[in-house]
Amino acid sequence: MSGYLAFCDKYRDEAACIKALGDLKWPDGFSCARCRGRRAYHLASRPRLFECAACGHQHSVTAGTVFHKTRTALRKWFAAGYLIARDKRGVSALFISRELAIRYDTAWLMCHKIRHALTESSTDFLLGGCVEVDAAFYGGGRRDGDRRRARTDGTAQTEARGRTEEEGRTEEGRAQRAGRAMIVCAVEKRSTAGTGKQGIDRQGFIAGSARIAVLAHATARQIARFIRANIEAGSTILGDGGNGGRGPAEGRHAPIVPGTGVSAGVNLPIVHRLFSNVRTWLNGTYHGVSAKHLPRYLREWSYRFNRRGRIGQLDGFLLRRTVSRDTITYAELVGGKMIEGAG
């Protein structure tokens, strides 16, 4: 049996959740960080603590994890992770607050900490083969008279296309003042030959894995850096005639520039479909998000998208992530701390 009821049965109480964290933290059995002792006492008065039988050093199953120092029941944390991982539309903090009977601000913090755990790096995997790459602004409003105005539909072409680093920073400043963020996305373009599928827009191709990130600066140099960090050497890059396919790395890629930004939606159907899906998800589930927190939301989307063929296992994947990643504090969240790496 699988599904939400099975999940609830498996993590039915605090003791079951503590055991699950302990098994993930010490897969080969308890090991004291101080003396390497192999035996420990489980403290009945403080059930999240284990005391080394040899040296008395105490270990918390939540230390060094996303759950560090939390006063919220672990069962509610696990349930929140399950809901975030399994629903491709995502769930809002308001939904988590209502369903798990916790305060909204607590639910908001929990959701962001879980998203923080989903950070991926280029060491997890690299994109390869034929890869579509493009960038777009998200957020803010339109500016009359701007031929390349930024739209929230995720299809706007970058206004910094082909400009120098200094000019790009000027454009970035304008975008930031308008409350916009620049997103870059790369997605594998896989043929449907032999599958009987027509593919996106009946062009005979479907999406493979994807990487997505918010750029610190709206420049070609930043996009090239993203490409080098996330795409295998020798891959074929499809750009739109601007930043997406311009000089990513000498001798590492073979860029193909199919057209200009005007025809990018036709030449790059997959990445533009992803931009549209991301926009629909952000605006539909969360009614829009701020540029400060956008990177974490994109990590959530990316993590789920790249594992869409293994939805039934996502809650287990997420739980392992929460144990292997340090937490992020409320002060760091509201301060706009960025996440390293790409989604």
**Stated pTM of the model:** 0.79
Q: What is the DSSP string of 89-107?
A: T---HHHHHHHHT--HHHH
Predicted local confidence at residue 266, as pLDDT: 67
Q: How confident is the model at residue 301 (pLDDT cuts 50, 70, 90)?
A: very high
Q: How confident is the model at residue 70 (pLDDT cuts 50, 70, 90)?
A: very high
The pLDDT tens digits of the residues spanning 245-262 come to 444 443 344 444 444 555
Distant-in-sequence, close-in-space partners of 204: CB < 8 Å, separation ≥ 6: 191, 192, 193, 198
Across the range 73-78, mean pLDDT stands at: 96
The pLDDT tens digits of the residues spanning 12-23 come to 999 999 999 999
CA distance 324 to 316: 13
Lowest pLDDT segment from 72-81, 138-147, 150-159: 150-159
Across the range 106-135, mean pLDDT stands at: 86
Tokens linked to 31: 């090991």
pLDDT at 79 > cutoff 60: yes
- What's the order of all strands across the beta sheet hosting 58-60? 40-42, 49-52, 58-60
Burial (0-12, 13-18, 19+ Cβ within 10 Å), 317: middle
Predicted local confidence at residue 340, as pLDDT: 54
Give the up-direction half-sphere exposure of residue 340: CA atoms within 13 A in the CB hemisphere: 5
Bridge partners (DSSP) of residue 256 are: 238
* Residue 250 or 343, more confident: 343
The pLDDT tens digits of the residues spanning 312-329 come to 777 788 888 899 888 888
Across the range 292-308, mean pLDDT stands at: 91
Predicted local confidence at residue 172, as pLDDT: 43
Q: How many CB atoms lie within 10 A of CB 54?
A: 14
pLDDT at 148 > cutoff 60: no
The pLDDT tens digits of the residues spanning 203-220 come to 888 999 999 999 887 788
- Output the average pLDDT for the chain: 80
Predicted local confidence at residue 100, as pLDDT: 96
